[in-house]
Amino acid sequence: MAKQASGSTNRPKKTFMAEISSSSGIAIYPGTFDPITNGHVDIITRSLRIFEQVIVAIAINQNKTPLFSLEERIGLIQQCFAANNRVKVGTVSGLIVDYALKQNACAIVRGLRAVSDFDYELQLALMNRKLERRVETVFLMTGFRWIYISSSIIKDAARYGGDVSGMVPAHVVTALRQKFNR
Ligand code: COA
């Protein structure tokens, strides 16, 4: 039998391994999605290589005044993944980590576009970890083609008649034209 160092007890040592639990295979991808862009679609599609199911969670953000209603945003996302039953759409009005636990998710997926995203994302990930250690944050680098895109910049271009096809799915182009009577 291995000799015990003096003063030690028989209690098993707490190791990092003890904290590892199995993956549920479910991830949450939160955001405002006003509207969903090809950059978001890219992150969701690539997340499906890692996770069995991705729940796109539309967060009710008090600091934003969305152009599209909640129902419209849900519909626009569902249309993107109509043929894929591994993508679900939900809404969240409280903490993302609470929602994640309720959905049995083991991770929150976030996309990083540029260095400028990093500070906020680090803060968010650390706060979420502080609030709930059972949910990990997983970062994916946004596809190079979508690095300059945001929902706001798309809306700005579309508002003044700019062509945003190729930056958002075709049905979103149509929805934007309808919103801005273009
Ligand atoms: N491609 C293109 N655009 C992207 C993108 C990508 N891969 N990833 C992000 N963006 C854009 C979005 O379109 C959005 O553009 P906008 O600001 O013009 O609308 C912008 O980047 C910000 O992205 P998003 O990730 O959607 O952030 P958000 O601020 O709308 O949402 C939440 C952030 C929902 C994750 C955060 O507010 C949250 O967790 N809220 C719930 C409360 C909570 O739990 N808070 C944390 C602990 S206090």
E strand or H helix that includes residue 78: helix 70-80
Residue 88 and residue 27: Cα distance in Å, rounded? 10
Query: 136-141 and 26-31 as β-strands: parallel, antiparallel, unpaired?
Result: unpaired
Task: Say whether pLDDT at 2 is over 90.
Answer: no
Task: Say whether pLDDT at 139 is over 90.
Answer: yes
Q: Which two tokens stand for residue 181?
A: 């009577």
Main-chain dihedrals φ then ψ at residue 149, nearest 5 degrees: -90, 140
- pLDDT band of residue 117 (cuts 50, 70, 90) is confident
Domains of the chain: 24-147 (3.40.50.620)
For ligand 1, pick from 61, 77, 93 the residue to mutate: most ligand atoms within 8 Å of CB. 61
CB-defined site of ligand 1, < 6 Å: 30-32, 34, 37, 39-40, 43, 59, 61, 95-96, 111, 113, 124, 127-128, 142, 146, 149-152
H runs (alpha helix) in 82-136 = 96-102, 115-131
Task: Say whether pLDDT at 102 is over 60.
Answer: yes
Report pLDDT digits (tens) over 46-91.
Answer: 999 999 999 999 999 888 899 999 999 999 999 999 999 999 999 9
- Average pLDDT for 101-121: 93
- pLDDT band of residue 12 (cuts 50, 70, 90) is low
- Across 38-114, the runs of DSSP E, i.e. the strands, are 53-59, 87-92, 107-112
Global confidence as pTM: 0.89
Q: Which amino acid, one-letter code, is at 177?
A: R
Q: Is the peptide bond before 30 cis (omega within 30 degrees of 0)?
A: no
Instruction: Report whether 83 contacts 12 (CB < 8 A).
Output: no
- Across 32-86, the runs of DSSP E, i.e. the strands, are 53-59
